[in-house]
Structure 1
Amino acid sequence: LEVVWFRFLLLFVKGSSLAFPVMLGVVLAGIALGGLAASLLMRLMPTAPRFAATLAFVAAVATVASYAYFPRVIEPFGLTSVTQPDAIVRISLPLMLPVSFVSGMFFPIVGVALRREFRSEIQTAGVLTLVNTIGEAIGSLAAGFVMLPLAGIERTVFTIAIVYGGIGALLMWRPVKGRPTAIGYAAGLASVIALAMFPFGELNDRLVSIPVERFAEGEPERRLIAVREGLTETIVFFQRMLLGKPVSDVMLTNSFSMSTTGYGVRRYQKLYVWWPVAVHPELKHALLIGYGVGNTAKALTDTASIESIDLVDLSRDILAMAPVVFPNEGDQPLLDPRMHVHIEDGRYFLQTSNQQFDLITGEPPPPGIAGVENLYSREYFQLMRDRLADGGLVTYWLPLADLSDVSTKAILRAFCDVFDDCSIWNGSGTNLMIVGSRGTHAVVSDRQFRAQWSTPAVAAEMKRLGVERPEQLGALFIGDASFVRALVDNAEPLTDDRPKLIEAPFSSPTAGSDLLASIADTGAARTRFQTSPLIARLWPSALLSSSVPYFDVQHVIDAHMYGSLLRQSLALEDVHRILTGSTVDMPVLWRLASNSDIQRVVSSATPDEQMNPLLQYHLAIRLLSERSYRQAADAFERATASPQVRDNAFVLYIYSLCMSGQRAKAQQTSREAFAASGVSSLPPLWIWMKETFGIDPSRR
């Protein structure tokens, strides 16, 4: 039963290396207390073995009751993920302690009853322990490998309750001592009633929604679309929605958001492929460790020049959910003939394979989940390097938001200990990319570097994810090995025998912000880019100088991606800088709280649906990004009818009027609105409008 309990609790508890011993401790404490209670009971009541059937029935009732009561147990925790030991104990006790306690009583009581069947206490204890151990082994295997994948958590709990009730019925039919007791019949009746009242549907109707709501908090619309209780995890998919239309898919495994098709995650996970394809002239064989929702796999299969792709993932069930994200078989990465799937551990595959790869990349789970530290250690990075062909590349995730400064530096030190030319690159905000290689390869030509932007399907996705021009790839640069080693200084590397470094606390209250300031300084990164030996080796000379201005674009992208973590300038000021100083579109959408996922909803809407003021707002943002200022002004004016975006839409309406040459109308409209508002002084945004366009709404 503990196998089922642990799987169930992982929907609410972060599966860290601390959580499992705490939960196991509750089970063992219940068994120990039950055994102690049974020994005391048998001293006071030598006929206690007569109640063995009663205990089995009570265990059945407790199994049902503890599961039925659990929603009340978890309710006080709201949408928070349970991580602290005391909180784990608080939700584990009501679920697991009652049945564990009864089971602890049942074992010695049955042992006393069996004593009369054997010649000695030693023989009795040996036989009982043997049977119990065999039962535990078979039960764990049956629950984990048969019942949970086939029947799911809820039906498995119900089945176990039936087994307890069946044992009670058997002991009533063949009592271990004396005649069946009246209390035994009453307990049997109670177990039948409990089984009849089992709360089927509780899991999907109420409990699965808790992790969904946690990760969809703040989203006005979301929809649960798929649940799969697999061999190693419970997988949940939900969709973020806009006006009833899907925007993106999110995959949860147990209580954790593992991946999403949202534009931010898609961006950095596809950069794991786009970056090496741009700089490696002969990238033919790729290895992907971890599938997620298929973002990186899709980038690989969209790259026609790659000849073979090996995918390694522990979970057959996650791969079986691929059609949720890719309902069209022609789009599914797993059905690409170049794809070779291996259901096994990534480290084991690296240790046992003799293949060589031009690219090794991966989508590891976030740090903090039990065992994930082994996917960030120096030994693991060494295994990756050993499987690289000469000149091969590794691209890997560095999730800054999930790490302290100590753990970040430990991972970087481990990576740079293995890869002499280690470097660090922007992805999406705190989701950074680290890169290393095994030796050198030929420098790509300017034409080869730009080839992806000439491939329609790839170029369209690059545009959607804000990598609209080849020059922007260089502007993702943060620093090469000299920068990373200076950043790391004398930090200890994360190794297999020092796994706790990945959970190390911050070294000081300001250490996190200091580290972020070093990494997010695009001005300093631009200087490092221009002087980096790594860039001189990898980048075509024609792109070296042309990439430099795009660090200003990257600065605006960072302002969006990092959000409140960085000191912000006015969003409209950033937008104006992009519109007047570059030809790119996507940063405009991002700084104004739109994106390509939302724009897909706008484009797919019918003409009548598009007249919705909220869709008009997002349509206007797209028109603005395309420099269609007059049309944008018309759409922003219609969008002011939406209470959700009225204030922003009005400001952008005035801005679009100015950009379309209608400053007189902008002045009059803003003055009328300012007079009606009763505000006495200009907010910073309007001061900027006055300085930039001469628009002064306070002027009479």
Structure 2
Amino acid sequence: MNIAANKQKQIILLLSFLSGLSVLVYEIVWQRYLQLIFGSSVYAISTVLACFMVGFALGSWLIGKWTDKTTSSMKVFIYLEIGIGIFGFLSPFLFSQLMELHTLLFQHLEVSQPTKHIIRIVLSFIIIIFPAILMGGTLPPLVKIYHEKKQQIGKDAANVYAINTLGGVIGAFLTGFFLIHIFGLQKTIFLASLSDIVVAVIAFLLYKKGLVQNSPMKKTVKNVKKKQKSIYPKQVISLVLMVYAISGFSSLSFEVYWTKILTLFFRDSIYDFTIVLSGFLTGIVIGSYICGKFIKKMRNPIFIFASLMIVNGLITLLCLFFIHQLPYLTNYLQSMNALYDKYGDSYWIMSIVIKYGYSFLVMLLPTSLFGAIFPIVSQICVKNQQEIGGKIGYIQTLNTLGSTLGSLLSGFVFISFIGIHQSMILTSILIFSIGLALFVYTPWKSNKLKTYVIAISIIGIILVISIVPAWDKLRMSTSFLEPNQEIEKALDLHYYHEDAFGITSVVEFTPWDQKYLVTNRIYTQNTSDLMGLEDHRRLGHIPLLLMENPNDVLIIGLGAGITTSGVSEHNVDSIDVVEISEGVKNAAKYFSEENKDILNDANINFIIEDGRNYLSTTQKKYDVIISDIIFPMSSGSSSMFSKEYYDFAKKRLSNNGMMVQWLPIHQMSMEEIKIITRTFQTVYPSTSIWYGMLGDSVPVVGLFGQKEKLQINIRMIEQKFSDPDLIRNLEEIGLGNPYFLLENFIMEGHSVNQFTKNQPINTDEYPILEFSNPKLYGDLGRQNLKTFERLREDITPYIKE
């Protein structure tokens, strides 16, 4: 005996919620796995997302058609959940095998960067396509089971879609804030896999007991004499579907734009990406749910659809007015110290609340309008009970394919070629235009009134575009300025560049006559403030002075090129510099005086690539590898301080080679420094710690790893100091004689072991730093320098004559 219809619907919605939750867990964790395999290249990450969405599209289409041909949609859903759960359980092993294959391929293939991207697309497609198809196929059978003949398909589709997306919101939030942090990547995947198996078991039990079912397809077909025809012409339905596909393109484009902008004004951490993603999905949930409530009253759904697109085109433009105020509103969000001063011990919770508030102000209304579209299109296009699965699948396929193009073109083409501001304006115009085109085909009782509405809409968008403020490149790319500070009295903008990696700029602080390289509004380690103990040339000189006869040097991270210029002042055979962003390399040209024009140095080889990815695939050996300053706050940066990263570097060292990791200790707690050092030690048992740069603003210490116990050849060092040209450069940065160099020594051996005792290890599986670092506040640089000064040991035992 069947349970009540409303109870049946509640069960279906619960299954939909849990299914949507696990999908977002998989998507986030698998993206991180593939990011680790392919490096933290934005192109690799977007390739993963595109492959995921293509799988969703295929699943919606193929499984939607299969749903209509089977006698039970519930059986289809059970099979899908079992398949997803099994693949999820196996996926960590599959990704580890993919990592080995990727490394093997690029160690033996000398190919161009575009060819590498193509190969990565193929590899991503192979590993992701099957589970993505299964995931994309879950919505059509759920909608078909949930739907009742006497009710409208739009309302039912809205309810299932909203609850499924709400599961995604919760899944994204839990994964970004808690699951990976607590359980690590693999166990988080296992939890999602277990969830899918549980969902399949629940669905199976309900099916076996006959508690949840839909009418068998074969029997239904026999009793149906004539299919219900659509009330709309075929041409109009085609136009509706085309507009829906373009709406998918537009929505994902705006997700890319809003993510880049909002994380730009937050702190670019894993929490910030989670906030923006869950905020975006929340709008989809609200829009779909509200639309489902009112869809019965819609006498002309095509008119509503067209109107929503027109209004959304205007609203996304109007959101630019708020976005232009972000430099004046959010500067304090990038400083935990400012938040702590304002909110005390509640600073972290308040930062999350405020960021969600700003995200909703930018995204909630337009994403709600995007979310309202799916149930309306379902109501327009699906008229036959027998073809619900296929139609819903087809509708989602078109939208998902549009979304795939939107995510790729917006990040890699539009932003890079015309900038994020113009990209948003053009995408808003696109939304408005396709809505207007659909509106033209909408029947009205009065053509005259229809003409007036069209004219007023066109005039309205022209007016809005004309008053949208110009993009303030200086304020948008830097956080130097106070809200009311006059620009011309503070900063000059020398260089500005937007691409898939974000915004890079070079600004000069005119009162001090200093230039700064800024990436994504974060002041980097590079400045033209040369001479003295905070000169970045020290980070290149110290390892080279301690190393006997280094020939080949690798530097991970170019920045403004000042560390590289320090290395170039030594007599080495080759210097390879790996920098992920072409924009940063171009920005380094504006520091040609400070970096001694290294970009035109024929002996230096510049490689545009992710540093970790390069280490994992190159076969070249190096005498010295310098991992320059990387801020651990940013999402994904924890992988550049992981055991696996140091293992890759060790394999690339020559027999007597040295690995150097510079740490910006003003951006780290002492606990985090200990964790990184402990992680470094697991790969380099002979680890010593040295000062790199001293000062209150940007103090730096370095971890030096070698295969053999530290032995300092004082005679070799004295010989290097006999070079008058080198001495002249070293005197400028406080290294004028060998003993000034040795004064930078802090500890080695047993002292380092005691320093890191009982500390956990930062791994790809457990990215500890990524979750702890964004929460830090206080005068960390000064505190850490004082701690290291207390820990310093005598260097004499390590000196050999």
User: What TM-score results when the alignment is normalised by the length of structure 1?
Assistant: 0.69
Taking structure 1 as reference, are residues 68 and 397 closer, same or farther at Cα in structure 2, changes over 3 Å only?
A: same
Aligned position for 1:491: 759
Q: Deviations over 1:595-645 (max 9, x none)?
A: xxxxxxxxxxxxxxxxxxxxxxxxxxxxxxxxxxxxxxxxxxxxxxxxxxx
Aligned position for 1:689: none
Task: Tell me the distance in 2 between the aligned counterparts of 1:507 and 1:147.
Answer: 35
Question: Does the 8 A contact of 2:660 with 2:702 survive in 1?
Answer: yes
Q: Deviations over 1:248-306 (max 9, x none)?
A: 32111113112322238984642333122222222000111111111111122222x11
Question: Does the 8 A contact of 2:691 with 2:745 survive in 1?
Answer: yes
Aligned position for 1:470: 738
Aligned position for 1:393: 658
Aligned position for 1:142: 409
Task: Tell me the distance in 1 between the aligned counterparts of 2:710 and 2:549.
Answer: 9
Question: SS in structure 2 opposite 1:492?
Answer: coil
Aligned position for 1:337: 602
Taking structure 1 as reference, are residues 447 and 337 closer, same or farther at Cα in structure 2, changes over 3 Å only?
A: same
1:46 maps to amino acid: R
Question: Does the 8 A contact of 2:270 with 2:770 survive in 1?
Answer: no
2:580 maps to amino acid: L
The partner residue of 2:358 within 79, 91, 98 is: 91
Deviation at 1:337, TM superposition (A): 1.7
Question: Does the 8 A contact of 1:26 with 1:97 survive in 2?
Answer: yes
Deviation at 1:247, TM superposition (A): 3.0
The partner residue of 2:493 within 203, 213, 224 is: 224
1:88 maps to amino acid: K
Q: Point out the more displaced range, 219-228 or 176-185.
A: 176-185
Deviation at 1:106, TM superposition (A): 2.2
Q: Does 1:352 align with 2:621?
A: no
The partner residue of 1:528 within 785, 789, 794 is: 794
Taking structure 1 as reference, are residues 507 and 57 closer, same or farther at Cα in structure 2, changes over 3 Å only?
A: closer
Taking structure 1 as reference, are residues 118 and 146 closer, same or farther at Cα in structure 2, changes over 3 Å only?
A: farther
Alignment of structure 1 residues 348-387 onto 2, 5 Å: 348-387=613-652
1:482 maps to amino acid: H
Question: SS in structure 2 opposite 1:370?
Answer: coil
Task: Tell me the distance in 2 between the aligned counterparts of 1:168 and 1:91.
Answer: 27
Q: Deviations over 1:215-252 (max 9, x none)?
A: x999984322221112211112111234xxx6332111
Aligned position for 1:259: 525
Question: SS in structure 2 opposite 1:423?
Answer: strand
Task: Tell me the distance in 1 between the aligned counterparts of 2:672 and 2:392.
Answer: 49
Q: Deviations over 1:23-49 (max 9, x none)?
A: 011111111111112212212223233
User: What TM-score results when the alignment is normalised by the length of structure 2?
Assistant: 0.60
Deviation at 1:70, TM superposition (A): 2.7
Aligned position for 2:668: 403
Aligned position for 2:218: none
Aligned position for 1:68: 321
2:673 maps to amino acid: T
Task: Tell me the distance in 1 between the aligned counterparts of 2:408 and 2:708.
Answer: 46
Question: Does the 8 A contact of 2:491 with 2:510 survive in 1?
Answer: yes
1:477 maps to amino acid: F
Q: Does 1:287 align with 2:554?
A: yes
1:11 maps to amino acid: L
Task: Tell me the distance in 2 between the aligned counterparts of 1:258 and 1:284.
Answer: 29
Question: SS in structure 2 opposite 1:494?
Answer: coil
Task: Tell me the distance in 2 between the aligned counterparts of 1:159 and 1:444.
Answer: 63
Aligned position for 2:702: 433
Question: Does the 8 A contact of 1:158 with 1:195 survive in 2?
Answer: no
Q: Does 1:413 align with 2:678?
A: yes
Aligned position for 2:284: 31
Q: Does 1:122 align with 2:375?
A: no
The partner residue of 1:132 within 390, 399, 403 is: 399
What is the total number of aligned residue pairs between the two structures?
525
Q: Deviations over 1:330-362 (max 9, x none)?
A: 933232222222222222211111111000002
1:124 maps to amino acid: K
Task: Tell me the distance in 2 between the aligned counterparts of 1:508 and 1:318.
Answer: 28
Task: Tell me the distance in 2 between the aligned counterparts of 1:112 and 1:184.
Answer: 25
Structure 2 segments unaligned to the other structure (5+ residues): 1-253, 337-350
Task: Tell me the distance in 2 between the aligned counterparts of 1:467 and 1:132.
Answer: 62
Question: Does the 8 A contact of 2:558 with 2:585 survive in 1?
Answer: yes
Deviation at 1:400, TM superposition (A): 1.9
1:378 maps to amino acid: K
Name the larger-Rg structure.
1
Task: Tell me the distance in 2 between the aligned counterparts of 1:102 and 1:279.
Answer: 62
Taking structure 1 as reference, are residues 167 and 226 closer, same or farther at Cα in structure 2, changes over 3 Å only?
A: same
Q: Deviations over 1:492-514 (max 9, x none)?
A: 22222221245448999999988
Q: Deviations over 1:83-120 (max 9, x none)?
A: 73212112111111121111111232233223369973
Task: Tell me the distance in 2 between the aligned counterparts of 1:197 and 1:235.
Answer: 27
Q: Deviations over 1:547-597 (max 9, x none)?
A: xxxxxxxxxxxxxxxxxxxxxxxxxxxxxxxxxxxxxxxxxxxxxxxxxxx
Q: Deviations over 1:106-136 (max 9, x none)?
A: 2322332233699733232122101100100
Identical-pair percentage: 21
Question: Does the 8 A contact of 1:223 with 1:241 survive in 2?
Answer: yes
Deviation at 1:157, TM superposition (A): 0.5
Deviation at 1:66, TM superposition (A): 0.7
Task: Tell me the distance in 2 between the aligned counterparts of 1:193 and 1:218.
Answer: 30
Question: Does the 8 A contact of 1:403 with 1:503 survive in 2?
Answer: no
Task: Tell me the distance in 1 between the aligned counterparts of 2:475 and 2:648.
Answer: 43
Q: Deviations over 1:523-558 (max 9, x none)?
A: x73x5222x3xx224xxx3xxxxxxxxxxxxxxxxx
Aligned position for 2:470: 201
Question: Does the 8 A contact of 2:684 with 2:706 survive in 1?
Answer: yes
Aligned position for 1:52: 305
Deviation at 1:424, TM superposition (A): 0.8
Taking structure 1 as reference, are residues 106 and 484 closer, same or farther at Cα in structure 2, changes over 3 Å only?
A: same
Task: Tell me the distance in 1 between the aligned counterparts of 2:410 and 2:320.
Answer: 17
Question: Does the 8 A contact of 1:113 with 1:177 survive in 2?
Answer: no
Q: Point out the more displaced range, 506-515 or 64-73.
A: 506-515
Aligned position for 2:269: 16
Q: Deviations over 1:416-452 (max 9, x none)?
A: 2221221111122331111111337997563654425
1:475 maps to amino acid: E
Task: Tell me the distance in 2 between the aligned counterparts of 1:511 and 1:230.
Answer: 32
Taking structure 1 as reference, are residues 384 and 405 closer, same or farther at Cα in structure 2, changes over 3 Å only?
A: same
Structure 1 segments unaligned to the other structure (5+ residues): 542-700
Question: SS in structure 2 opposite 1:484?
Answer: helix
Which structure's relative contact order is higher, taking Cα pairs within 8 Å and 6+ residues apart?
2
Question: Does the 8 A contact of 2:312 with 2:369 survive in 1?
Answer: yes
Task: Tell me the distance in 1 between the aligned counterparts of 2:779 and 2:259.
Answer: 37
Deviation at 1:365, TM superposition (A): 2.2
